[in-house]
Amino acid sequence: MLAVTTDLDALLQRIAEAACSMVACERCSIFLHDPKTNELWTTIALGSREIRVPSAAGIVGAAFSSNELIHVPDPYSDPRFNPAPDRASGFVTRSLLTVPLHDVDNQPIGVLQAVNHRQGPFGETDFLLARLLADQAGVAIQRYRLQQAAIEGAELRREMSLAREVQQALIPARPPAVPGLACAGYTLPASITGGDGFDYWQVADDRLGFFLGDASGHGIGPALVVSQVRTLLRALADMNPNPHEIICRVNSRATQDMAAGRFVTMFLGVMSSDGCLHWTSGGHGPILVQRARGAPIEQLEPPGPPVGVMDPFMGEPTEPIQINPGGRVFVLSDGLFEAFNPDGEQLGVERIVEVMETVTDSPEALVAALRRLAAEWQQGDEPKDDQTAVIVQRAL
């Protein structure tokens, strides 16, 4: 049973019963250490109620702290003994044998305490048997905890994988069919789930809506936040596809819902087939714009702070931008331009602009070139932050 530890309560119960039998005592208690509270507490106390004490208190605390066996043949004369429970119950404690339970590294994880030898005082044989049982029990308890940690880890990985599937389902499978416009995007999370998100869709008036958001941090918490923001703005865009009004409403909701210190940077654009771009940004950049094929690449400044910081949104409406045939709008997250190479150097916006100037045929080609650039720059290292980009290009 010590070797196959599937039920801790049953195991501890059996250890306590075995101790009562092996050392011929009236009662046995098993105290386990709770590192969160630094207390010793009984999960099994045969013939006694559950007790919780500081890890250095009393005789059990002394055995735990010293990691040594303690034999007390006359507890009432020992200042470490607390007689109050005996007075309350009428029980008389005549002798105590307290043995630490320790792990494979000989670190104490609890205490086994035998109470009242049935045939007089505890002797050397009892000490030997108690140590033997305690040694095996300590390792069995440690094994059980490791098994539980592995099970919990597997469950967490399964839940994280499910969260990733849900998040991936929110990424558009294909670009919307808006005449005269082409778009592409990708996201590479730094963990199983990411705090970045992007989207593009056809709004009710047949224009193209596109979005990129970056929640502070990365992992499942930011993934939930950016997914919530994406869903909210999509719903608002169906009613009124005005980027400034949408970001004001999203900010108002996010400010109320998000925990202190959390925020989202986000870009939102709506472009018509003739290239008229209405846009806004809550603290998100860089926003790279090429107004026509071969034109200089400009970098737009976000007109407002990140979403979720304060309400109302402090950004001002922006003027529409005309994107002529062959022109492009390119939005990326900081995980891309802040990507590090093995020497600790950042990729930088300038190298990304050089790729933009070289690759002009399609958004898909630019996405592929950008992914190659980041991978080659990192030289096989995993990204330290989520990497996301979305590109919209007007046809020639």
Question: Could you please report the per-residue DSSP string of 195-242?
Answer: SEEEEEEE-TTSPEEEEEEEESS-SHHHHHHHHHHHHHHHHHHHH---
**Neighbour order of strands in the sheet with 264-271:** 196-202, 208-215, 264-271, 276-282, 321-322
Using an 8 Å Cβ cutoff, are 363 and 323 in contact?
no
Shared domain check, 327 and 283: yes
Shared domain check, 114 and 17: yes
Work out the end-to-end distance of the chain between its first and last CA atoms, rounded to an integer number of angstroms: 76
- CATH number for the domain that contains residue 145: 3.30.450.40
Which of 94-98, 133-137, 158-162, 284-288 comes out lowest in average pLDDT? 158-162
Query: Which run of H or E residues covers position 175?
Result: none
Name the residue range of residue 52's domain.
Answer: 8-151
Q: Is the pLDDT of residue 46 over 60?
A: no
Taking every pair of Cα atoms in the chain, the longest distance, rounded to a whole number of angstroms, is 101
Mean pLDDT over 149-156 rounds to 77
Q: Quick check: pTM over 0.85? A: no
What per-residue confidence (pLDDT) applies to 5? 60
Q: Is residue 116 part of a domain?
A: yes
Shared domain check, 309 and 207: yes
Residue indicated by tokens 């970001």: 247
What per-residue confidence (pLDDT) applies to 213? 92
Distance between CA atoms of 313 and 247, rounded to whole angstroms?
A: 8
Q: Is residue 49 part of a domain?
A: yes
Shared domain check, 205 and 332: yes
Shared domain check, 175 and 116: no
Average pLDDT, the chain: 88
Q: How many Cα neighbours within 13 Å face the side chain of 162? A: 6
Where is the domain boundary, 105, 123, 151? 151
- CATH number for the domain that contains residue 308: 3.60.40.10
Shared domain check, 87 and 178: no
Distance between CA atoms of 372 and 374, rounded to whole angstroms?
A: 6
Using an 8 Å Cβ cutoff, are 186 and 389 in contact?
yes
How many distinct structural domains can be found in the chain?
2
Q: Is residue 100 part of a domain?
A: yes
Shared domain check, 259 and 120: no
Q: Is residue 331 part of a domain?
A: yes
Distance between CA atoms of 256 and 266, rounded to whole angstroms?
A: 17
Instruction: Please give the single-letter amino acid code of residue 47.
Output: G
Shared domain check, 334 and 290: yes
Q: Is residue 163 part of a domain?
A: no
Q: Is residue 136 part of a domain?
A: yes
User: Per residue in 194-210, pLDDT tens?
Assistant: 788 899 999 989 999 99
Shared domain check, 359 and 211: yes
